[in-house]
């Protein structure tokens, strides 16, 4: 049996779906039973637990062959870093107390750095804390920048006629669709080929600038002249908090953006067949972005 944290989310739902399709037993963990129902219909066992509840997670992990771990985003929390530490403490205590032997863990590029990477500091610390569990074998998936981060551009294009954000327009970024992370994680869980603790990067199909992403979006939505505008913290922070983020989350994302812009936060591996994944920006924009832009996405 596999236990999956964040099973109703972007990566977790793909992992659970793939393992179930391969006939595996899967325990899907989330806060809300109704959001797990879709997977229960496919044969999963639902386990309702909060990620900061170590005792509940210990029960959820007990008897599993391997677990998928992540720190769910909590962008409205008044102190996001404190919340991340509480969650990673609970995850690690549960891994230890349940005697988990194998974990595939969602991390990020930049998790090699102890500071100045915003929310990624929480993932660095999660890796470090798990390194302290001697008997655990762990595969840290250091993923690139999620293509799903592009969804707020729907509103920006509609309101301002441009795309915009904190990153330099010429900065090459390893952008990945979360479905590719889910596929890689499911494969790692099936094979359990890692024998100690290892970190490896998942860098998407190719590196892209926001300018290039904007061209791809513009073509797909029939606005060929669409342009990207780099925006400063003074413009972005109020917009982020208006979207429902706490000031803490907005500050962390701005710190991360600065570290990406300066090159402090960057992939460590050269691009290779192992860290390259299939979904191109053109595929992502056609299948995911355009339906949201036109309001025809499932559930939109
Ligand atoms: N955005 C990026 O560019 C990027 C890059 C690299 C790494 N990351 C990391 O990727 C992770 C996010 O992955 P994702 O996109 O797959 O997540 P996601 O789609 O936001 O899913 C989060 C999942 O966690 C569950 N959840 C939320 N709060 C919970 C709680 N308190 N207790 C139990 N379950 C809870 C949610 O389920 P319910 O709401 O149904 O409970 C949902 O299934 C973060 O750790 C982030 O740092 C992000």
For the segment 159-192, what is each residue's pLDDT rounded down to a tens digit? 999 999 999 999 999 999 999 999 999 999 999 9
Question: b or e along 25-35 (b: 16 or more beta carbons within 10 Å of the residue's beta carbon)?
Answer: ebbbbbeeeeb
What span, in angstroms and rounded, lies between the C-alpha atoms of 296 and 138? 39
Beta bridge partners of 29: 5, 47
Distance 226 CA to ligand 1 centre (A): 31
- pLDDT of 91-147, one tens digit each? 999 999 999 999 999 999 999 999 999 999 999 999 999 999 999 999 999 999 999
DSSP codes of every residue in 200-248: EEE--SSEE-HHHHHHHHHHHTT-TT--EEE--HHHHHHHHHHTT--HH
Which residues are within 8 A (CB) of 38 and not within 5 positions of it... i.e. 6 or more apart?
8, 13
| Residue from 8, 57, 73, 199 whose mutation best tests the ligand 1 pocket (most atoms within 8 A of CB) | 73
Supply the pLDDT for residue 299: 58
This prediction has a pTM of 0.98
Confidence at 297, pLDDT banded by 50, 70, 90:
confident
Which residues are within 8 A (CB) of 87 and not within 5 positions of it... i.e. 6 or more apart?
51, 52, 71, 72
104 and 189 in contact (C-beta within 8 Å)?
Answer: yes
Distance 141 CA to ligand 1 centre (A): 14
Query: What's the token pair of residue 42?
Result: 């496919």
- Local structure of residue 6 (DSSP, 8 states): T
Beta bridge partners of 103: 67, 138
181 lines ligand 1 (CB under 6 A): no
Give the residue whose CA is nearest to atom 25 of ligand 1.
6
172 lines ligand 1 (CB under 6 A): no
Give the residue whose CA is nearest to atom 34 of ligand 1.
30
Which residues are within 8 A (CB) of 242 and not within 5 positions of it... i.e. 6 or more apart?
none
Give the residue whose CA is nearest to atom 39 of ligand 1.
31
| Residue from 3, 9, 266 whose mutation best tests the ligand 1 pocket (most atoms within 8 A of CB) | 9
**Exposed / middle / buried, residue 88 (Cβ in 10 Å: 0-12, 13-18, 19+):** buried
Ligand 1: which atom is nearest the Cα of residue 70? 45
113 and 27 in contact (C-beta within 8 Å)?
Answer: no
Helix (H, G, I), strand (E, B) or coil at 68: strand
Distance 98 CA to ligand 1 centre (A): 22
């Amino acid at each position: 049996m596999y236990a999956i944290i964040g099973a109703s989310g972007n990566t977790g739902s793909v992992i659970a779906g793939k393992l179930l399709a391969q006939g595996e037993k899967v325990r899907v963990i989330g806060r809300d039973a109704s959001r797990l129902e879709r997977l229960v219909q496919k044969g999963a066992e639902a386990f309702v637990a909060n990620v900061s509840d170590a005792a509940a997670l210990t029960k959820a992990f007990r008897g599993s062959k391997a677990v998928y771990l992540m720190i769910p985003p909590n962008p409205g929390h008044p102190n996001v870093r404190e919340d991340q530490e509480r969650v990673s403490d609970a995850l690690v205590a549960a891994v230890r107390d349940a005697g988990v032997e194998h974990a595939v863990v969602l991390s990020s590029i930049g998790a090699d750095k102890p500071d100045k990477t915003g929310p990624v500091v929480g993932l660095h610390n999660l890796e470090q804390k798990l390194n302290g569990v001697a008997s655990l074998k762990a595969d840290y998936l250091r993923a690139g920048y999620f293509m799903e981060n592009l969804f707020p551009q729907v509103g920006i294009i509609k309101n301002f006629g441009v795309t915009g954000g904190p990153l330099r327009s010429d900065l090459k970024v390893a952008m990945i669709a979360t479905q590719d992370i889910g596929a890689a994680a499911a494969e790692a869980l099936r094979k359990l080929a890692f024998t100690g603790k290892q970190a490896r990067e998942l860098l998407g199909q190719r590196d892209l600038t926001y300018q290039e992403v904007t061209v791809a979006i513009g073509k797909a939505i029939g606005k060929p002249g669409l342009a990207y505008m780099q925006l400063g913290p003074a413009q972005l922070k109020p917009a982020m908090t208006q979207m429902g983020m706490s000031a803490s989350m907005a500050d962390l994302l701005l710190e991360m953006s600065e570290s990406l812009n300066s090159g402090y936060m960057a992939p460590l591996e050269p691009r290779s067949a192992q860290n390259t994944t299939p979904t191109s920006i053109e595929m992502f924009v056609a299948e995911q972005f355009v339906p949201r832009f036109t309001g025809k996405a499932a559930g939109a």
